[in-house]
C-alpha cells in the first residue's frame, strides 16, 4: 500500500534518541532549549517555545492574547479542528470564514466582513503548506493580533520570509506525519519578550523556572520557584527535541524531495481535464508541500479505485463549521462545494519515482476508462 503520509526517519534519529536516553535527562532540558534556539533562528524570530503539539501552541497563543468569554476569533473552516477548538478552550467563539476556491486558504474578503468589535484575533492556516497572502491579511486586520497556524507549513516562505514570523505568533506541529516530525510536538514562534517569558511559564504549569534550570543554573536554592498564574502541562521533552534537531537538519532535503514529487505530479496529471491541480510555487509563495491536493470529478469513485489499487488517499478537510460541536452553521459556499471535490494524493520524502509514476498512471487510467 502506498501511504498518504509517511515519517522520514532513519539511523540519525535513532542515534539522537539513544544519546538522550544515555544522558539520563529525557524530560524538559537542554535538547529542548537547543531545539528552541535553532528553530527560532530557522523561522527568523527572536524566540521559540517548545510544546507537545500545535494544539497546545495555539491554546497558549490564545492565553498570551488573553482571549476569553465574549471574544471572537476568526478561523478558516478548511482546517483541522484544533484551530477552532483552542478558541472554545478559552471560552471564546470561533467565527468561521470561507476559503478561497483555488488555494483553500482563508477567504480574505469573507474574513473582512466577519470582523467586529469583539474580534480579538485571527488564525490564518497556511493550508497544505502554501502561505496565506499575509500582506493583504495584515492590511485588513489592522491591530488585530494574527496567530499563524503553521501546522502544515514548516519551511514555507512568503516573499522570501519563513512562515511563523509573519504574524504576531506562529504555531507549529511536529506530529508524526508532519514535514518535521517528532512523534508529537509543537512550537510557538514569536519576538515579543514578555509573551515569550509568559509562554515558557504557561507550558510548565505556571512555574517560573524549569527543572533543568533549577538543577543547572541555580545551584544555591534549586528547590525554590514561584507560580503566579495557573498554566498547562504541555512542554516539549528532550527525547522529542533530539529527534526534532535531526529533522530540522534534514528539512531542506526532505522538503526538496517533496517538491520534486510535486513536479512529477504536475507533469503526469497536468493534461487531465477532470483534475485541477494546486497552484505552483512562484516568487511570492513557496509551499512546504505538506499536502498535495487535487480537485477532481467523481472524487469518491476515484478514491475507491485508488484504494483498490493499493494507493491510500485522504480528504483534508470536511469544513469544520459543519461539525455539531460548534453549533454554529454559517453558509460557507466555497468550502461546502470543495469538500466533495478534494482529494489528497500520497506525498512523503521517501516516496520513490516508481511509486509517484504508479499513482499518476492509476489516476489517468481511472479517467480514461470511466
Ligand X SMILES: Cc1ncc(COP(=O)(O)O)c(C=O)c1O
Which of the residues are catalytic? 178
Q: How far is residue 124's CA from residue 97's CA, in Å, rounded to a whole number?
A: 10
127: helix, coil or strand? helix
Under the binding rule (CB under 6 A), the answer on residue 125 touching ligand X is yes
Nearest-10 Cα torsion for 18, 22, 24, 30:
-60
CB of 58 to ligand X, least distance (A): 6
Site string for ligand X, 168-207 (x = CB under 6 A): -----x-x----------x---------------------
- Nearer Cβ to ligand X (162/363): 162
Ordered DSSP codes for 83-106: HHHHHHHTT-EEEEE-B-TTT-SB
CB of 131 to ligand X, least distance (A): 13
Per CB under 6 A, which region of 64-72, 147-155, 221-229, 321-329 contacts ligand X? 147-155
What does the chain come to in residues?
A: 370
Q: Which runs of E-coded beta strand occur in the chain?
A: 47-51, 72-76, 93-97, 119-122, 147-149, 157-158, 161-162, 169-173, 186-190, 275-276, 285-286, 292-296, 342-345
**One of 82, 103, 105, 287 touching ligand X (CB under 6 A):** 82
Under the binding rule (CB under 6 A), the answer on residue 39 touching ligand X is no
Site string for ligand X, 84-123 (x = CB under 6 A): ----------------------------------------
Unique residue bearing C-alpha cell 480537485 = 295
**Pairing verdict, β 93-97 and 157-158:** unpaired
CB of 249 to ligand X, least distance (A): 21
* Partner residues linked to 293 by β-bridges: 344
CB of 351 to ligand X, least distance (A): 20
Under the binding rule (CB under 6 A), the answer on residue 237 touching ligand X is no
Per CB under 6 A, which region of 148-156, 218-226, 304-312, 330-338 contacts ligand X? 148-156
Under the binding rule (CB under 6 A), the answer on residue 50 touching ligand X is no
- Nearer Cβ to ligand X (232/298): 232
Under the binding rule (CB under 6 A), the answer on residue 80 touching ligand X is yes
**One of 2, 28, 49, 54 touching ligand X (CB under 6 A):** 54
CB of 128 to ligand X, least distance (A): 9
**One of 32, 48, 55, 189 touching ligand X (CB under 6 A):** 55
Please answer whether residues 349 and 252 qualify as being in contact, where contact means their C-beta atoms are separated by less than 8 angstroms: no
- Nearer Cβ to ligand X (289/366): 289
Laid out side by side, the sheet with 342-345 consists of 275-276, 292-296, 342-345
What cell was used for 153? 507549513
Please answer whether residues 56 and 186 qualify as being in contact, where contact means their C-beta atoms are separated by less than 8 angstroms: yes
- Nearer Cβ to ligand X (53/189): 53
In whole angstroms, how far apart are CA 294 and each of 32, 243, 302? 37, 32, 11
* Partner residues linked to 74 by β-bridges: 95, 122
Q: How far is residue 271's CA from residue 72's CA, in Å, rounded to a whole number?
A: 44
- Nearer Cβ to ligand X (151/356): 151
Please answer whether residues 51 and 186 qualify as being in contact, where contact means their C-beta atoms are separated by less than 8 angstroms: yes
- Nearer Cβ to ligand X (187/275): 187
Question: Which residues of the chain form contacts with ligand X (CB under 6 A)?
Answer: 53-55, 79-80, 82-83, 125, 149, 151-152, 173, 175, 186
Amino acid at each position: 500500500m502506498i501511504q498518504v503520509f509517511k515519517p522520514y526517519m532513519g539511523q540519525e534519529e535513532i542515534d539522537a534518541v539513544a544519546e538522550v536516553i544515555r544522558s539520563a535527562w529525557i524530560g524538559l532540558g537542554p535538547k529542548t532549549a537547543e531545539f528552541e534556539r535553532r528553530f527560532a533562528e530557522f523561522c527568523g524570530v527572536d524566540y521559540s517555545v517548545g510544546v507537545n503539539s500545535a494544539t497546545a501552541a495555539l491554546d497558549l497563543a490564545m492565553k498570551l492574547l488573553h482571549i476569553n468569554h465574549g471574544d471572537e476569533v476568526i478561523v478558516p473552516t478548511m482546517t483541522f479542528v484544533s484551530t477552532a477548538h483552542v478558541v472554545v478552550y478559552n471560552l471564546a467563539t470561533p467565527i468561521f470564514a470561507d476559503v478561497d476556491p483555488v488555494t483553500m486558504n482563508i477567504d480574505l474578503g469573507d474574513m473582512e466582513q466577519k470582523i467586529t468589535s469583539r474580534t480579538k484575533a485571527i488564525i490564518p492556516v497556511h493550508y497544505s503548506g502554501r502561505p496565506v497572502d499575509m500582506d493583504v491579511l495584515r492590511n485588513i486586520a489592522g491591530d488585530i493580533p494574527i496567530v499563524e497556524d503553521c501546522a502544515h507549513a514548516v519551511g514555507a516562505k512568503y516573499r522570501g520570509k519563513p512562515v511563523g514570523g509573519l504574524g504576531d505568533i506562529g504555531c507549529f506541529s511536529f506530529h508524526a506525519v508532519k514535514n518535521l516530525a517528532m512523534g508529537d510536538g509543537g512550537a510557538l514562534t514569536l519576538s515579543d519578550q514578555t509573551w515569550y517569558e509568559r509562554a515558557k511559564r504557561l507550558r510548565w504549569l505556571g512555574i517560573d523556572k524549569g527543572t533543568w534550570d533549577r538543577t543547572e543554573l541555580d545551584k544555591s536554592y534549586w528547590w525554590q520557584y514561584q507560580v503566579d498564574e495557573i498554566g498547562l502541562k504541555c512542554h516539549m521533552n528532550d527525547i522529542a527535541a533530539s529527534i526534532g534537531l535531526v529533522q530540522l537538519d534534514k528539512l531542506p532535503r526532505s522538503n526538496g524531495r517533496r517538491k520534486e514529487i510535486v513536479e512529477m505530479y504536475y507533469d503526469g496529471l497536468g493534461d487531465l481535464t477532470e483534475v485541477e491541480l494546486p497552484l505552483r510555487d512562484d516568487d511570492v509563495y513557496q509551499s512546504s508541500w505538506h499536502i498535495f491536493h487535487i480537485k477532481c470529478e467523481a472524487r469518491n469513485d476515484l478514491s475507491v479505485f485508488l484504494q483498490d489499487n493499493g494507493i491510500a488517499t485522504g480528504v483534508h478537510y470536511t469544513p469544520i463549521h459543519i461539525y455539531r460541536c460548534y453549533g454554529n452553521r454559517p453558509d460557507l459556499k466555497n468550502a461546502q462545494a470543495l469538500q466533495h471535490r478534494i482529494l489528497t494524493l500520497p506525498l512523503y520524502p521517501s516516496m520513490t519515482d516508481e511509486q509517484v509514476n504508479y499513482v499518476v498512471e492509476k489516476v489517468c487510467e481511472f479517467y480514461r476508462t470511466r
